[in-house]
Amino acid sequence: MKLIVAVIRPDRLNEVLEALFHAEVRGLTVSRVMGHGGETERVETYRGTTVKMGLQEKVRLEIGVSEPFVAITVRALLEAAHTGDVGDGKVFVLDVDQVYRIRTGERDEAAVTPAPAPAAAPA
């Protein structure tokens, strides 16, 4: 099992979510974050004061996947988030020792695959 953490441009989020959906990757967390990588610093003037903007707005995605989905997920992220410009982001693939689904108590592989829908009550 792996935790894939991607830091991407905010304007590429819709394309990334669509690519993950088409790759049948389900279950993720999205956070708005600030960060700095290789981008050049912006200088802005605010009320007559020059301010150096060192941090850029980014989006962080966290996706827990089983081994068969690692390559699929990484490929979807790389293709959808790519613009070719400095600041496209990074993808980190981290090992996960254990994971539990709180609702059912399932663990490990069963907890990172899509959960089956609850059975409907007979009419």
Is residue 71 one of the residues assigned to a domain?
A: yes
H-helix segments, the chain: 13-22, 70-81, 109-112
Q: pTM score, two decimals?
A: 0.81
Q: Could you report the per-residue pLDDT of 76-86, keeping only the tens digit for each?
A: 999 999 999 98
CATH of the domain at 89: 3.30.70.120
Is residue 75 one of the residues assigned to a domain?
A: yes
Is residue 10 one of the residues assigned to a domain?
A: yes
Number of domains in the chain: 1
Q: Could you report the per-residue pLDDT of 31-89, keeping only the tens digit for each?
A: 999 988 766 666 777 777 777 667 889 999 999 999 999 999 999 999 999 999 988 99
Structural domain span for residue 72: 2-37+56-112
H or E, element range at 63 = strand 56-65
55 compared with 92, residue with greater pLDDT: 92
